[in-house]
Amino acid sequence: MHSGFSYADPNAGVHGAFAILAALFHRNKTGQGQYIDMSQWEGMMALLPEGILEYTFNGKEPERIGNADPQMAPHGIFRCLDRPEKIFDSTIDQFVAIACNDDLDWGRLARAIGRPELARDPKFATLPARKTNEDELEAIISGWTSQQRAHDVADLLQKVGVAAAVVADNKYLSEEDPHLKARDYWVYQDHPEVGKRQHAGVPWKMSRTPTPVRATAPLIGQHTEEILTQLLGYSADDVAKLRSQGALE
């Protein structure tokens, strides 16, 4: 199944950055630098521990289980009311993700949906029972969520201690997500060609070091002269000569 984006590429950057930091730490401790040889393919292996362990310990290939989890039930996404407004004349469906880690979580969820008796029902009282009757269990929860907005379900369940979150579309992330708003994640800057636009922020905050987004995406050739003179050591006359020869077009 395709993951929807190039999963290996950004994770390779994370692994590479960590390797560089480790090498810098080693240099600070010993005064010696070192060469880093990093494999993107091997970096992906570090993200597949469960599947590798399942085969190496049990000789089994993991089966596709969709949004289910072998150790949790309920665990999945559940249909909610559609967005009340259309986007480009299209109706946008909405879902909420819910995960019950144990029987206590399940009891909280049962009470939250107004069905406390389900926590004592032999078909659902324990994890093995819930896994055996998972289709019926999910139908009950879907019957409840389908009558409500996704963010209302997530808010209610989070307040009673059940892990839940809106399955976020781009509009929700850009305009509505309360956590991103509270942390001032989005940055708004003026771009000389497209005007004020929303930019992704830096996903960490440091107590002593500001982490602002310093600039918008550059225009084509915007920093050519700066790079040539300040980074590569060309003189102004050198740059002028390159321009006259068409080398910088």
Let me know if 9 is a catalytic residue. Answer: yes
For range 154-168, the mean pLDDT: 96
Task: State the residue for tokens 């009673």.
Answer: 160
The pLDDT of residue 1 is: 64
Each residue of 210-248: pLDDT tens digit? Answer: 999 988 989 999 999 999 999 999 999 999 999 999 998
Cβ-proximal residues to 116 (8 Å cutoff; 6+ apart), any chain: 107, 110
The pLDDT of residue 85 is: 86
Strand ranges of the sheet holding 75-79, from the earlier edge strand across to the other edge: 75-79, 95-99, 163-167
Cα gap 139→141, rounded to integer Å? 6
Strand 195-199 relative to strand 75-79, pairing: unpaired
- Homologous superfamily, domain 75-177: formyl-coa transferase, domain 3 (3.30.1540.10)
pTM greater than the 0.75 cutoff: yes
Q: How does DSSP classify residue 90?
A: B
Q: Enumerate the domain spans of the chain.
A: 8-58, 75-177, 183-217, 219-249
Per-residue pLDDT for 5 more than 80?
no
Each residue of 91-117: pLDDT tens digit? Answer: 899 999 999 999 999 999 999 999 999
Per-residue pLDDT for 2 more than 90?
no
- CB distance 75 to 99 below 8 Å: yes
Cα gap 27→212, rounded to integer Å? 28
Cα gap 49→64, rounded to integer Å? 15
Cα gap 19→16, rounded to integer Å? 5
The pLDDT of residue 62 is: 84
For range 109-138, the mean pLDDT: 96
